[in-house]
Structure 1
Amino acid sequence: MSADNGSFTGPPPGPQQSNQPRWAWWVVGIVIPLVGIIVTVMASRPGSSDDNGAQSAPTQSSAAAGSTDQQQSGQDQSGQAQPSAAKSAETVRAVFGPKDVGADTTNAGSYIDLDTPQPLVSPTRINGGDIIFSASIGDPNLFVPESASNLAPLPRSGAAPTAAECADSVDSNGTYTANVKRGDRFCLLTDGGRVAYLRVVTAPSTGTGKLNITVWNTPDA
């Protein structure tokens, strides 16, 4: 029995093949990774993310805060400027002395006014006199008119007091009179609100005695 060659049509057809050329798939396989690399590089550039922007903000805030602190130096919490140390020092200053001032101690002695530009010494009573230097009761003494407790004795040795120390001495240990001799020291509050430091240089029973005097002009004077 012979085969019917005329009826043979070949093997059954396989799956339908794509009409797209193979090189197109190669291009797609290269392009996709390349795009991924470009996106990664762009994302890593400085300033390209929100994180980098957020990290730079504190630096600017710190600089602004430092500038604000400098502008507000010398101010309290209420925003009012505080006086500098130099200005505070100027409010209490010596307006006279230290300098020797002579006064006749004979009998009723001399009145001394320390609220004038230069100490005013008078042999007679004067309005506003701050201290009397006399030997009217035998021993030389200092006496505050009207017996006001404005005179404070100090230790004979030690550094000269400041205006504040003198004011404190008068507040805590003020009296109105004291017998004096060479080397004695006193603080005095004047009638006009000044503060004075007196050091006895000479204190004769008659003749001219001398006081070394410093006068400070306080803020209230």
Structure 2
Amino acid sequence: MSTDNGAFTGAPQGPQQPHQPRWAWWVVGIVVPLVGILVTVLVSRPGSSDDKADTADKSPAPAVTQSSAAAEPAGTEQSAGQAAGEPSESARAAKAAFGPKVIEADTTNSGSYIEFDTSEPVVVGNSTLKGADLIISASTGGSPDLFVPDSHMTLAPLAGSGAAPTAEECAASVERNGTYPLPATRGGRFCLTTTEGRTVYLKVNTAPPAGKANLEVTVWAA
């Protein structure tokens, strides 16, 4: 029996895929690492966006100049030689050693003797007070009067209204109009120079023929 050459020998083979040459895989193995190195260099090179952001964050803050600083309030500048908190010469001259404050003095009979050359006025009801600068008394039986001991012409009247005088104005008034004595009428205003050279401004608020007189007093040091 003859062999049938047309017998089935298996499924027909399709077209065969060409084999990749070995050098192609070798090239791929080199190119891929090179691409990775190139990307790393580009990302980390100076001038990238991250580096710029870091540089901007670390830049020093601008210095404050004299022109941008807040201006000093007016009036805070002190003269050279005047310590902080020290009053000016004019302020020291205007400062009173006492007052204005109200004192009381009894007008009954021989009245009261008043000393102004002390830290506060001293009022005594008899003539034993040595160095008294003023006496208020109703010994004549009528309205009380103001006397200066030893009849010194160091008491001067002022107009019945107006602002209280300064020490300079009061002293000038005594220089021009000093006299002795004067009636202590209610509302009367007077200037006095003491035995130690102090200047006194005195206003009579009340002055009864007997009882307590109410006197508003300011004393300036000599």
**TM-score computed with the length of structure 1 as normaliser:** 0.59
Equivalent AA in structure 1 for residue 104 of structure 2: G
Deviation at 1:202, TM superposition (A): 0.5
Match of 2:96 in 1: 94
Equivalent of 2:172 in 168, 174, 187: 168
- Check if 1:129 corresponds to 2:132: yes
Structure 1 or 2, whichever has the larger Rg, is 2
Q: Any gaps of 5 or more consecutive residues in structure 1? A: 1-72, 75-83
Match of 1:150 in 2: 154
Match of 2:72 in 1: none
Equivalent AA in structure 1 for residue 199 of structure 2: V
Match of 2:218 in 1: 214
Deviation at 1:85, TM superposition (A): 9.0
Match of 1:183 in 2: 187
Supply the distance in 1 between the matched residues of 2:191 and 2:89 (Cα, whole angstroms): 25
Per-residue CA deviation, residues 116-149 of structure 1 (Å, 9 max, x unaligned), is: 1110000112111000011011221100000000
Deviation at 1:90, TM superposition (A): 1.3
Supply the distance in 1 between the matched residues of 2:182 and 2:93 (Cα, whole angstroms): 31
Deviation at 1:111, TM superposition (A): 0.2
SS of residue in 1 equivalent to 2:195 = coil
Match of 2:111 in 1: 109
Match of 2:62 in 1: none
Supply the distance in 2 between the matched residues of 1:155 and 1:87 (Cα, whole angstroms): 29
Match of 1:10 in 2: none
SS of residue in 1 equivalent to 2:88 = helix
In the alignment of these two chains, the number of paired residues is: 138
Per-residue CA deviation, residues 80-133 of structure 1 (Å, 9 max, x unaligned), is: xxxx99224414520111111000000110000001111000011211100001
- Percentage identity across aligned positions? 55
More helix by share: 1
Per-residue CA deviation, residues 157-188 of structure 1 (Å, 9 max, x unaligned), is: 11100000000000000002101211000000
Supply the distance in 1 between the matched residues of 2:138 and 2:207 (Cα, whole angstroms): 9
Equivalent AA in structure 2 for residue 114 of structure 1: F
Per-residue CA deviation, residues 43-84 of structure 1 (Å, 9 max, x unaligned), is: xxxxxxxxxxxxxxxxxxxxxxxxxxxxxx99xxxxxxxxx9
Q: CA 1:85–1:122 in structure 2 vs 1: closer, same or farther (change >3 Å)? A: closer
RMSD over equivalenced CA pairs, Å: 1.9
Supply the distance in 1 between the matched residues of 2:177 and 2:151 (Cα, whole angstroms): 14
